[in-house]
Amino acid sequence: MNANNNGATTLPRESRLVGCSSDEEPGAKTMIFSQNEIPIQLVSNRSSEFMHRYFPLTTIDSWNDWKWQLRNTITTIEDLKKIMKLSDKEVIAINNLKGRLPLRITPYFASLIYDSKPTNPLRRNVIPVVEELLTSRSEQSDPLHEKESSPVKGIVHRYPDRVLFTVTQVCSNYCRYCTRSHSVGRLDKLGRQDFEKAFGYIASHKEVRDVLISGGDPFTLNDDTLDYILSNIRRIEHVEIIRIGTRIPVVLPQRVTDNLINILKKYQPLFLSLHFMHPDEITEECAKACNKLADGGFPLGSQTVLLKGINDNVPVMMELMHKLLKVRVRPYYLYQCDLIPGSGHFRTTVRKGLEIIKGLRGFTSGYAVPTFVIDAPGGGGKIPLLPPDYVVEHNEEHIVMRNYKGVLCEYPEK
């Protein structure tokens, strides 16, 4: 075992077994490992300790193999209890998940929370509590009404020049506040015919210049499937840019392999929208994955959901934004939490989001300030929100503004 200059532990590589597919169903477990991929040879001291304690027969190559991570995800209360003590609220929630968003946690992410308290932000991201079973009147299973804007399976066409393409319902971890909790985690795969219909829809709509590939998490698909999807979209002449929405660098950084980068490079211009929630998610492994993607030449943006008791204060949000910039991810959107069933314990007031933006704007670099948006219930789309105090007066003569220190400034309109 060697320590590298980050203080992380590298272990000697051992022999690998061969061959497998991915796009695993939740809970699928086999012991077949991947081939021809150089895993990132980095395991933090924390993950190393966890691995030796709970996966003592596992090699470092297996740990760093994203397919091994997927096959060994924790999906049952029995497995979860083996690595951590659960609270009563968590036990009740997990035992009553039937028909709801399933439980799924990669061993890597489990290594970040196994010795945490129930209030730990990362733990709250993946382990449900009893409040999740309560639904209020304002909550809906598809709050953004995506089904109504879906002309063919997998495609949501709401905005004039772009479409959302949900290519899988599978994620490596399931976030308890997921907007698509009504569909992710369900065994409703797109078949080859569905993909062909979706490509056909995009090809026949010349106004579509931007395709956002999302899910589920597209990077849980195997390399061949990703290549197939990207090549078919890229050959449509009027598609100018492709975006991929993923949480992989946070929950399964081992997925960011050389092979993945080489596939993505073929389909530039390609942007990645990464999903971050808390500064503690930016570990050595996560940082390495982000830097690798940035080195690959992909602009990286982050999307964050505002969550009560997790990131709903200025110091935590500022730390997250600063850490993102250090790993070359540009903060993009801060979302008001969508009104999905059982999300009441996660939601803050809109006022809280505005306060946070006010606490960032001017107090730190503009690059560190995301746009605060509400994805309007009922399918109204994203609406940006700014604290109202900046504009004090605006008429044909001038605009009077208040800066971040509260000082009034004037700009003439004539």
Confirm whether 286 is a catalytic residue.
no
Confirm whether 337 is a catalytic residue.
no
Q: State residue 400 phi and psi, 5-degree precision.
A: -110, 125
Segment interacting with ligand SF4 (CB under 6 A) among 106-114, 175-183, 256-264, 329-337: 175-183
Considering 61, 227, 312, 375, which one is annotated as catalytic? Answer: 375
The answer to whether the beta carbons of residues 202 and 208 sit under 8 Å apart is yes
Residues 204-233 as x/- pattern, contact with ligand SF4 by CB under 6 A: -----------xxx----------------
SS3 category, 205: coil
Give the separation between CA 270 and CA 329, rounded to whole angstroms.
Answer: 14
Q: Which two tokens stand for residue 366?
A: 């503009």
Give the separation between CA 58 and CA 47, rounded to whole angstroms.
Answer: 12
Q: Applying CB under 6 A, does 180 fall inside the site for ligand SF4?
A: yes
Q: Is 413 left (phi over 0), alpha (psi -120 to 50) or beta?
A: alpha
Give the nearest distance from C-beta 137 to ligand SF4 in angstroms. Answer: 23
Q: Applying CB under 6 A, does 275 fall inside the site for ligand SF4?
A: yes
Considering 54, 108, 171, 312, which one is annotated as catalytic? Answer: 171
Q: Applying CB under 6 A, does 127 fall inside the site for ligand SF4?
A: no
Q: Which helix (H) or strand (E) holds 260?
A: helix 258-265
Measured at the alpha carbon of residue 261, what is the angle toward residues 257 and 262, in degrees to the nearest 5? Answer: 115
> Taken in order 245, 250, 255, 261, is the CA torsion positive or negative?
positive
Confirm whether 186 is a catalytic residue.
no
Q: Applying CB under 6 A, does 104 fall inside the site for ligand SF4?
A: no
Strands of the sheet with 398-402, listed across from one edge: 391-394, 398-402, 408-412
Nearer to ligand SF4, 11 or 373 (CB): 373
Confirm whether 159 is a catalytic residue.
yes
Q: Which two tokens stand for residue 92?
A: 């009740």
The answer to whether the beta carbons of residues 328 and 291 sit under 8 Å apart is yes
Q: Applying CB under 6 A, does 353 fall inside the site for ligand SF4?
A: no
Q: Applying CB under 6 A, does 171 fall inside the site for ligand SF4?
A: yes
Determine if the peptide bond prior to 216 is cis (ω within 30°). Answer: yes
Nearer to ligand SF4, 163 or 178 (CB): 178
Q: Applying CB under 6 A, does 174 fall inside the site for ligand SF4?
A: yes
Q: Which helix (H) or strand (E) holds 301?
A: strand 300-305
Considering 81, 158, 234, 352, which one is annotated as catalytic? Answer: 158
Considering 162, 247, 288, 347, which one is annotated as catalytic? Answer: 162
By CB under 6 A, name the one of 71, 182, 243, 247 that touches ligand SF4: 247
Q: Applying CB under 6 A, does 123 fall inside the site for ligand SF4?
A: no
Q: Applying CB under 6 A, does 67 fall inside the site for ligand SF4?
A: no
Q: Applying CB under 6 A, does 24 fall inside the site for ligand SF4?
A: no
Give the separation between CA 72 and CA 51, rounded to whole angstroms.
Answer: 12
How many Å separate Cα 10 from the centre of its chain?
27
By CB under 6 A, name the one of 8, 113, 130, 184 that touches ligand SF4: 184
Give the nearest distance from C-beta 275 to ligand SF4 in angstroms. Answer: 6
How many Å separate Cα 233 from the centre of its chain?
22
Give the nearest distance from C-beta 175 to ligand SF4 in angstroms. Answer: 3
Nearer to ligand SF4, 68 or 335 (CB): 335
Confirm whether 382 is a catalytic residue.
yes
Residues 371-390 as x/- pattern, contact with ligand SF4 by CB under 6 A: --------------------
Considering 100, 104, 176, 180, which one is annotated as catalytic? Answer: 180
Integer CA distances (angstroms), 157 to 103, 149, 190, 234, 271, in order:
30, 6, 17, 18, 19
Give the separation between CA 377 and CA 142, rounded to whole angstroms.
Answer: 9
Confirm whether 375 is a catalytic residue.
yes
Nearer to ligand SF4, 54 or 219 (CB): 219
Q: Using DSSP bridges, classify how beta strands 391-394 and 300-305 pair: parallel, antiparallel or unpaired.
A: unpaired
Nearer to ligand SF4, 278 or 358 (CB): 278
Which residues belong to the active site? 158-159, 162, 171, 175, 178, 180, 338, 375, 382
Interface residues toward ligand SF4, by CB under 6 A: 171, 174-175, 178, 180, 184, 215-217, 247, 275
